[in-house]
Chain A
Amino acid sequence: MTDHSRRTFLGLAGGAAVLGTVPTVIVRPVEATPAMLSSAIRNIVGEANVRTGKVKLDIPPLVENGNTVPMTVSVTSPMTADDHVKSIHVFNEKNPQPNIGNFYLGPEAGRAQVSTRIRLVDSQKVTAIARLSDDTFWSATADVVVTLAACTEEAI
C-alpha cells in the first residue's frame, strides 16, 4: 500500500467512524469551570483566607466506579464550645456542578468527621473546606483517578 492510499484509507475510516457515532452521540454535561469552582468556594468562605491544614480528606486515589466513591472528611479540633468545627464543605473540579455537599455540625458532635459516598464524572481534584468557630477556613485537596465515570450512561 502506498503512503497516499493508506492516508486515504485512514481518512475514510475516520470519516466512517465519525458518521457512525453521530446518531447515538451523548451530550456530555457541561463541566464545571475553575471559575465556577472558585465562585462556589467564595459563596461559602466570602473574602476569608483559606489555609491548608487541619482537614483530612480520605478518598481512594484510584477508583473504578465514579458512581459511588467513599469519602471521609475529618478535622483536627477539640470540639469544645469555643473551639469547634461549624461546617464542612466539599467541592469538585469537573462535575457539572462544583458543589458536592455541605455538612453543618456543632460542638456536641464530639468528633468532626463526616463520611458519605459521592459521584465523580472524571479524574479530578476534590477539595474539602472546614469552617471553624473562629470563622477561619482550612482545606485539604485530594487527586482522584476515575476509570469508569459517573453520569455518562444513558437512562432507560
Chain B
Amino acid sequence: MPSALINVPAKAKRGDVIEIKTLMSHIMETGYRHTASGAVVPRDIITNFICRYNGAEIFRADLYPAIAANPFITFFTTATESGKFEFEWTGDKGFSETASAVITVE
C-alpha cells in the first residue's frame, strides 16, 4: 500500500528558507536480486520525483536502484507565498503517487 510522509512547516515568514522532507513507501527492487531458484527479481523502482510550489516546479530528482527502499528525500526552498506544495512520484510498473502540503506565509 503506497503511502507518503511529508514534512513541511505549517507557517513561515516570507523569504525564509525552509526544509522539506519527503518519504514514499516503496520496495525499490533493484532488479539485481535473485530468488532461491535463480530467477531474477524484476526491477521495480521509483524513477522520478517532482515537487511543485503553487504549480511551479521547484525540485526534481531522477532515482536509480542505488536509492534505498522507501525513498527519503529532503531539500530546501524559499517560502515566497502561502499556498500548496504538490509532490509526485512515478516509477516502474505504472507507479504513480501524489501528496500535498499547505503552507501559510506571513
Q: Please judge, given known A-B contacts A27-B38, A110-B76, whether A151 and B32 are in contact too, CB under 8 Å.
A: yes
Q: Which residues of A contact B66 (CB under 8 A)?
A: 92, 95, 97, 99-101, 118-120
Interface pair A108/B69, CB less than 8 Å apart? no
A96 CA to B30 CA, complexed, in Å: 10
* Shortest Cβ distance from residue B99 to the other chain A in the assembled complex, whole angstroms: 17
Q: Which residues of B contact A156 (CB under 8 A)?
A: 35-36
Interface SS of A by simple majority: loop
A103 CA to B71 CA, complexed, in Å: 13
Interface string of A18-37 (1 = CB under 8 A from B): 00000000110100000000
* Shortest Cβ distance from residue B8 to the other chain A in the assembled complex, whole angstroms: 14
Q: B5: CB under 8 A from chain A?
A: no
Q: A148: CB under 8 A from chain B?
A: no
A25 CA to B48 CA, complexed, in Å: 34
Q: Which residues of B contact A113 (CB under 8 A)?
A: 75-76
Interface string of A101-127 (1 = CB under 8 A from B): 111111011111111111110000000
Interface pair A27/B34, CB less than 8 Å apart? yes
Q: A68: CB under 8 A from chain B?
A: yes
Residue from the set B33, B60, B80 with the largest chain A CB neighbour count within 10 Å? B33
Q: A16: CB under 8 A from chain B?
A: no
Q: A153: CB under 8 A from chain B?
A: yes
A141 CA to B72 CA, complexed, in Å: 22
Q: A67: CB under 8 A from chain B?
A: yes
What are 27 pairs between A and B in contact, CB < 8 Å? Answer: A26-B34, A27-B34, A69-B68, A95-B65, A99-B64, A100-B64, A101-B62, A102-B61, A103-B61, A104-B61, A105-B59, A109-B17, A109-B58, A109-B76, A110-B17, A110-B78, A111-B17, A112-B76, A113-B75, A113-B76, A114-B74, A115-B72, A115-B73, A117-B67, A119-B30, A120-B66, A154-B33
Residues of B bordering A, CB below 8 Å:
17-18, 29-30, 32-36, 38, 41, 53, 58-69, 71-78, 80
Residues of A bordering B, CB below 8 Å:
26-27, 29, 67-69, 92, 95-97, 99-106, 108-120, 150-151, 153-156
